[in-house]
Structure 1
Amino acid sequence: MERYSSYCYRAVAGIVVLNAAKNKPADAGLTLPQGFTATVIAENPGSTRHLVVTPQHDIYVHMASTRKSKGIIVLHEENNQATVKTSFGDYGGTGIAIGGGYLFASYKGGVYRYKLDGNNQVIDSTKPELIVKGLVDIDWHQPKAIALDGKGNIYVNIGAPSNICTEKDKNHTGCPLLDSAGGIWQFKTDKLNQSYAEGVHYARGLRNVVGISWNNQADQLFVMQHGRDALHDLYPKLYTAQQSAELPAECMFALKQGDDAGWPYVYYDWQKNKNMMGPEYGGDGEKAADPKYINPVAAYPGHFAPDALLFYTGSQFPAKYKNGAFIAFHGSWNRAPLPQAGYCVVFQPFKNGRPDGKWEVFADGFAGTAEQKASGAAVHRPTGLAQGPDGSIYVTDDNKGNIYKISYKK
């Protein structure tokens, strides 16, 4: 397991400040490796979450809520500027994907699909088909992230409405939440009105997954877990405040059907490079976890909040990025006494379908000034990632709502 290379609040060598598009802010505010440029193609449409970009340069964006707009807005991009074409949906959410001639979008209790025409435009936005229903929708970790495998399956994260299952019970013996949350469920993309009974409990022991993607090179599902909080607050005799700021790691898992990542019984310690037994279940900060729980394939600093995972398959970027992973970190709120951190997009190199080497900060500067970043008062917070038809990548921000386009030119 590689240790992380640098926090997103530290300086990164070899970066340049880039210009935004015409009629947009004079500076997109990001720092990127040499040769890359960033443009704000849409400003403040609302709280933008995940997105997909079609070959026709239409952008479907799932909004966190319907307070300022419909749940899904559709933009068309031309000359690095995106204008709103239409919007639809009376529900907010996170997950959105295109595959098999349909647009899929999640809501708090399930997933809808919309038939697309030959230009990837929704044929009738007033008549979505309900393919998944009745999922746990308690407020905490309510949004459902989704991924398609291209084989007729859709994978749905059902986050646990909890930090550590049952915080008020100090005599933990199990976790009843795991029957219906805290894992990934697999459903069919061509079947309507599926509930838990029709789905497959694909993987368990995942507190909450927002970044989720099918890796075609590995032919496997990869996810980014949001790790638990409050090690010091709940167990001050076992963990210092600084340990609690650093731990546990945010983890990337490569999943197979039946895998158990161990939440809430274990957490991953990047300093020790191993799974640890959770204090609620007999751990003391030193006891290793039961080896029946899978290990992550990569780990990142605690509380960075990974909200999107994208495997780059384009040809525009330099060869080192091909088949590697981009991760959008939403940023921390609970790293005291350390500065708050995250608020960046990182790149994780891959080789033969597995992480290979240290991760690196790819796009930084979303948070604003150093003071805004350190205090947690970030101006922008990266949330969604998508690859465009020309190989550029797009980044959403669910704080101010900007949509960024990042491109490369030799």
Structure 2
Amino acid sequence: MRLFLMTALTAALVVSATSAGAQAVPTPRPLPAPEPPATVTATRNEPAALAFTPDKLSRLKVPAGFELKVMATGLGNARSLLVMPDGGIYLSRMKQSDMWYLKDANGDGQIEAVERKQVAQNMGTAHAMSVKDGKMYVAGEKNIWVMDMAKDGGLSVPRVFATGFPDAGQHGARGMHWGPDGFLYAAFGSTNNDSPTPNPEEATMLRISPDGQSREIYSSGLRHTIGFGWHPVTGVLYGWDQGSDWHGDNIPPEELNVIERGKNYGWPFCYGDKNPDPYVNVSGIPGQITKPEYCAATTGSTLNYTAHAAAIDMIFYTGSQFPAEYRNSVFEAFRGSWNRNEPSGYEIAHLSFDANNKPAAVTPFVTGFVYQDEDGWKQFGRVAGVAQYTDGSLLFTDDQSGVLYRVLYTGGK
């Protein structure tokens, strides 16, 4: 009897183990579809950096009827701008990990040393800023901070609003704005050029709850969308995405995307209007489908611009100081290339919209920072932040020499 029970128990264990083993066998995955070899010709061409001096101002060009002025110099790594209704200007500086408050108190069009004050420090890679309900929010690499704002522009000690964001890698600049729905939108770039990473929040735009306690991946496949915003009339969310490096002079282009919830914009396997990137390994595609099949299921760009121009910030212009045709259009800062045979970017560009409030064309607006002479390519400005001033003029920064520029419409006066 005992022998029978042991035999039966042993048989049951064998059956149980066999069943468990059968369940543990993974489902075979198909091998990725083969792709032909691709050879890329890439160029590292970083124009020689020159410091800003007043004589260089004559090199800069703006459209007829506009005037370009220098509002401040010596600002260090001047990145993002945020203009307050009273004319105060907040400035973030990534390399110095701090923030400044600037104000032209005497109205002379210049911001002197006595009109500047440091209002926050020790904020690693502080970049994008956004204000809500009298509080300042600042995005860095791993944290978003919040501070109380004083009437004189001062800020309280930073408190962590949200944390645990992806590593920066080569893309430490974060874009961030409070959305019209009351949620905070923040974009986090990829840590590389060609490969998806285990962290699902990389190369995405996140939508963060008003209390900072929860968040969702709003959209993905965005290599590095720093500048974004909502159209003042249609409410459509647009963003400029930076394309990958080392894929040649002309691909991938800089992309203007209509950013929508749940959409995948293709990086790293696709660029532009769902074009497969021949220089990205197919082995990382989820499901091991072909690259064209994967790209067909993504969302293509709305408009493209010159490759490697390095889109870094944008605003919708809502003022009246410029001619009427500029209202509700976009001004975009392109910081400039370093891996293109003929440099691109180093400019403020203008994105026009048609009568139906659809993006129409991108044209240069402020140019001349980069030029070629007998000694090769040179540049004296890497544009970064862009903002609308209280009178409707346009402000933008140069984070290389620390210059704050101002563009006014004079109509030829």
TM range (shorter): 0.7 to 0.9
Match of 2:19 in 1: none
1:361 aligns with 2:364: yes
Query: Per-residue deviation at 1:262?
Result: 0.7
Alignment correspondent of 1:40: 70
Task: Report the residue type matching 1:86 in the other structure.
Answer: K
TM-score after normalising by structure 2: 0.78
Distance 1:112-1:372 versus aligned 2 partners, 3 A rule:
farther
What letter matches 1:407 in structure 2? L
Alpha-carbon distance in structure 1 between the residues aligned to 2:193 and 2:75: 31
Counterpart residue identity of residue 55, structure 1: P
Counterpart of 1:86 in structure 2 is: 117
Q: Which residue of 2 aligns with 1:128?
A: 158
Is 1:99 the counterpart of 2:104? The answer is: no
Runs of 4+ in structure 1 over 6 Å off: none
Look up the match of 1:393.
394
Judging changes above 3 Å, is the alpha-carbon distance between structure 1 residues 226 and 371 closer, same or farther for their aligned structure 2 residues? farther
Query: What displacement does 1:218 show?
Result: 2.4
Confirm or deny that 1:348 pairs with 2:348: no
Match of 2:188 among 127, 134, 158: 158
Deviation per residue, 1:356-394 (Å, 9 max, x gap): 2x2211111223x4339963x421111110001111110
Q: Write the letter of the residue equivalent to 1:343.
A: Y
Deviations 1:88-140 (A, max 9, x none): 221232211223322221111121122234x4734xx3422321111112432
Which residues of structure 1 form unaligned runs of 5+?
1-23, 166-174, 232-243
Residue 308 of structure 1, aligned match among 302, 308, 313: 313
Whole-Å separation in 2 of the counterparts to 1:85 and 1:43: 11
Does the 8 Å contact 2:227/2:313 carry over to 1?
yes
Larger Rg: 2
Gap regions ≥5 residues in structure 2: 1-52, 284-290
Q: Which segment is superposed worse, 132-141 or 315-324?
A: 132-141
Q: Aligned runs of 1:289-304 on 2, under 5 Å?
A: 290-304=295-309
Cα RMSD after superposing both structures = 2.4
The within-5 A match list for 1:107-122 is 107-117=140-150, 119=151, 121-122=153-154
Paired letter, 1:259: K
Specify the code of the residue in structure 1 equivalent to 2:180.
G
2:206 counterpart (174, 180, 185): 185
Q: Residue 402 of structure 1 aligns with which residue?
A: 403
Compared CA separation, residues 214 and 100, structure 1 to 2 (3 A): farther
**TM-score of the superposed pair, with normalisation by structure 1:** 0.78
Following the alignment from structure 1 to structure 2, what is the Cα–Cα distance between the partners of residues 73 and 307? Answer: 20
Higher helix share: 2
- Which residue, 330, 336, 361 being the options, matches 1:331? 336
Q: Which aligned pairs between 1:58-73 and structure 2 lie closer than 5 A?
A: 58-66=88-96, 71-73=98-100
Contact persistence 1:264–1:278 (CA under 8 A): no
Contact kept? 1:212, 1:221, Cα under 8 Å: yes
Is the CA contact (8 Å cut-off) linking 1:372 and 1:379 kept in structure 2?
A: no
Q: Which amino acid counterpart does residue 207 of structure 1 have in structure 2? A: R
Q: Report the residue type matching 2:202 in the other structure.
A: A
Q: What does residue 265 of structure 2 align with?
A: 261
Q: Is 1:249 aligned with 2:253?
A: yes
- Structure 2 residue identity aligned to 1:405: R
Q: CA-to-partner distance for each residue in 1:29-55, whole Å, 9 max, x for gaps?
A: 421011111111111210111111112
Corresponding residue of 1:172: none
SS of the residue corresponding to residue 31 of structure 1 reads: coil
Aligned residue in 2 for 1:28: 57
Instruction: Label 1:134 to 1:325 Cα distance change in 2 as closer, same or farther (>3 A).
Output: same
CA contact (8 A) 1:221 1:254 kept: yes
What percent of counterpart residues are identical? 25
The structure whose residues are more often strand, as a share, is 1
Quote the residue 1:57 is aligned against. 87
User: Which residue is equivalent to 2:15?
Assistant: none
Q: 1:305 to 1:110 in 2, by over 3 A?
A: same
Q: Is the 8 A contact 1:178 1:204 kept in 2?
A: no
Q: Give the drift of 1:26.
A: 6.0
State the 1:274 CA deviation. 5.2
Distance 2:109 2:228 in 1: 27
Once the two structures are superposed, residues 325-349 of structure 1 have per-residue CA deviations (whole angstroms, 9 ceiling, x without a partner) of 111110111112xx21210011110
In structure 2, what is the equivalent of residue 320 of structure 1? 325
